[in-house]
Amino acid sequence: MKDKIKTVVLGVLGVDAHVVGNKIMAHALEAGGFKVVNIGTFSSQQDFIRATIEAAAHAILVGSLCGHGEMECRGFRENCVEAGIGEIHLVIGGNLVVGRQKWEEVEKRFLQMGFNRAYPPGVSPKQVIEDLKKDLANKKDA
Amino acid sequence: MHYALCAHMSLALLIDFGSTFTKILAVDLAAEEILAYAQSCTTVETDIMVGLRKALDLLPSHLKNAAYECRISSSSAAGGLGMVTIGLIPELSAEAGRRAALGAGAKVVKVYSFRLATREMEELESLNPDILLLAGGTDGGNSEVILDNARMLSRSGVRCPILIAGNKSAADEVQAILSAAGKITLLTDNVMPEVNVLNVEPARAMIRKVFIERIIEAKGLKKAEEFVEGILMPTPTAVLRAAQLLSQGTGSEKGLGDLVIVDIGGATTDVHSFGMGNSVQPGVVRKGLPEPLAKRTVEGDLGIRYNAGTILKLCGQDRILENARLSHPDLAQKLGRLSQCVETIPESSEDQDLDFALAACAARAAMERHAGSIETLWGPHGQYYIQHGKDLTAVETLIGTGGIFIHHPQAGALLEKTLFSPGEPFSLRPKSPSLYTDARYCLFAVGLLADRYPEIAFRIGRKYLKEWNE
């Protein structure tokens, strides 16, 4: 039986105009067989959540490239819970922090915030897509 | 379909069954001239033809029984077209449904979001709308909520036609649920097929179809078809159609460019804009659900009769008096009397001054709500500008319609009150448009004629706009 097409919401969080990576990731996800709802740059947490509910998306992919991700992501999982999508698969990637910090510590902080995956800058879209397919297949309701 | 004029028959009778007055315009299509205007109180509660015949009797005798090429009309009588819309997310599909309804000329009495609560369903039943628009979920997206709402509606006492304009993947099942319960249903395209993609034209066309086929009869307007060919559309649709024609022009007539129409009435102040509303500044990011090319907003708290007291509360005494030349020491009492005697026509210079001040506040507030806004955000890489809604700063034409714009000697100054202000740079109101008023109250007629005689309708509209530019 053919797997149902999975829908993902993709965007750039916060006061951030970086759009090239967003477009590249959108193309890669579509080529990888996903339906992409790309909400673009300058997106708030609520923009992601609203689009996810309306489109019945399976995952949220947050791009954050300005270095302020840790501040702007606070409460994201909690806001998802409030909105009734508390189990949504939540992924973040980009320049998540300012300055040089050990990636393992950065990743740990984002996972503790409620993200299912966190990626450093320069991660390949191929890796993200492979992980996403595996994670969604493992989810009970995927 | 465009019509060709017969050489020997070139008169048109355009009628608007308004909420208060039935208005008639006799037009010579060949000469592109308005021959006569008449009005009488609308009598929809008893027999719509009574008011129509009284208005006809006021026409010059040679026009009363003339042979007319066409007799067509619009209507906002009997409360206009009242709609309720239901969607999922307030800022997304619910808003898309609301815009579809407004653009179809409806009065949106309520917008619901998410799964309906029992008390909301009870409220909806008591509102008794003419049409219900049910949306929710992008195509292939959320289907649970629109299906749950359909089940609730199927068990309710709602009797009006239900226009299904949501997730196409759930639409058939939604229709089956409602039809099995004996509800009248119609299917159309999703008003928001994808997140942040607006698709309101199919819903608008369907709403107009339902208006003509069902609502006219339900409101006691069918009798008018003894005399007119048909009530073609709600009055606001006619005005919006006129806006489109004047803005875009025709094959041979250059349009007036992006334009805005402000319609100040006793019960509401409406604003219509035609144009993309793209930013005139480079590097601005637009966010939010896209705005329709033809946009209409209705401010039910800014009518200068019914809401005279509300305008005082919203704008404050100081702002109203800033727009007046006289002092009006008993302002609150005067406004209270106005809101109780809604058919008051200003007679003294004092009354006119107060009307001007009220209308200035109402029009300015309505324009601010209709226009987009811009906000400045600071990020790590500097300053960014985010635009919500339409940028109207470059609009080329601003038209005022409604009794006050037609009769007040300072109508041009009234239009100026709606313009961009350097003190409020975030509100993207028009900066320096050419100013006009609908001096012969013919915008509805231009809209009615637009489909059959677009070139003639355009030229008549253009000819009878009164210019107020220095």
Q: B374: which residues sit within 8 A by CB, 6+ positions away?
A: B279, B284, B385, B386, B387, B388, B391, B425, B426, B428
pLDDT of residue B172: 98
CA distance A4 to A137: 11
- CB atoms A55 and B194 under 8 Å: yes
pLDDT of residue B347: 79
pLDDT of residue B455: 96
Report, as an integer, the average pLDDT of B345-372.
Answer: 91
Per residue in B406-453, pLDDT tens?
Answer: 888 899 999 999 999 999 999 999 999 999 999 998 999 999 999 999
Average pLDDT of every residue of chain A: 93
Q: What distance lies between CA B135 and its chain's CA centroid?
A: 21
CA distance A90 to A62: 8
**Chain A residues with at least one Cβ partner in B under 8 Å:** 7, 9, 14-17, 35, 37, 39-42, 47, 50-51, 53-57, 66-68
Q: How many CB atoms lie within 10 A of CB B344?
A: 16
CA distance A2 to B385: 45
CA distance B97 to B108: 10
CA distance B402 to B438: 8
- CB atoms A17 and B386 under 8 Å: no
pLDDT of residue B4: 62
Per residue in B102-136, pLDDT tens?
Answer: 999 999 999 999 999 999 999 999 999 999 999 99
Per residue in B238-291, pLDDT tens?
Answer: 999 999 999 999 989 999 999 999 999 888 899 999 999 999 998 899 999 999
Three-class DSSP category at A30:
helix
CA distance B291 to B299: 17
Nearest to A53 among B88, B194, B378 (CB): B88
Instruction: Delimit the domains of chain B by residue range.
Output: 11-78, 82-214, 237-300+364-467
pTM for the complete prediction?
0.90
Q: Which residues, listed in sequence order, are joined to residue B16 by a DSSP beta bridge?
A: B23, B74
| Torsions phi, psi for B214 (to 5 deg) | -125, -45
pLDDT of residue B338: 77
Q: What distance lies between CA B311 and its chain's CA centroid?
A: 20
Domain B11-78 has CATH 3.30.420.300: yes
Q: Which residues, listed in sequence order, are joined to residue B377 by a DSSP beta bridge?
A: B384
- The nearest alpha carbon in chain A to B90 belongs to A50
In chain B, pLDDT over 90 holds for what percent of residues?
71
Per residue in B151-207, pLDDT tens?
Answer: 999 999 999 999 999 999 999 999 999 999 999 999 999 999 999 999 999 999 999
pLDDT of residue B1: 63
Ranges under pLDDT 50 in chain A: 1, 142
Active site residue A141: no
pLDDT of residue A142: 47
Q: Spell out which residues of chain A touch residue B384, defining contact as CB-CB under 8 Å.
A: 15, 17, 42
Structure tokens at A59: 């995952």
What ipTM does this complex have? 0.90
Active site residue A18: yes
**Burial call A41-59: b when 16+ CB within 10 Å, e when fewer:** bbbbbebbbbbbbbbbbbb
CA distance B261 to B246: 11
Per residue in B277-325, pLDDT tens?
Answer: 999 998 899 999 999 999 999 998 998 888 888 898 899 999 999 999 8
Report, as an integer, the average pLDDT of B84-98.
Answer: 97
Residue B465 has pLDDT above 90, yes or no: yes
CA distance B271 to B278: 18
Mutation choice for B interface testing from A10, A54, A98 by most B CBs within 10 A: A54
What's the CATH number of domain A7-124, 3.40.309.10, 3.30.1480.10, 3.40.120.10, 3.40.50.280? 3.40.50.280
Per residue in B60-79, pLDDT tens?
Answer: 999 988 999 899 999 987 77
pLDDT of residue A1: 45
Using left for φ > 0, alpha for ψ between -120 and 50, and beta otherwise, residue A16 falls in: beta
CA distance B159 to B161: 7
CA B267 to each of CA B22, B232, B346, B402: distance values in angstroms, whole numbers, following the listed order: 16, 23, 16, 11
Three-class DSSP category at A133:
helix
What's the CATH number of domain B82-214, 3.40.50.150, 3.30.70.1520, 3.40.50.360, 2.60.40.1840? 3.40.50.360
Report, as an integer, the average pLDDT of B48-70.
Answer: 91
Q: Spell out which residues of chain A touch residue B142, defining contact as CB-CB under 8 Å.
A: 53-56
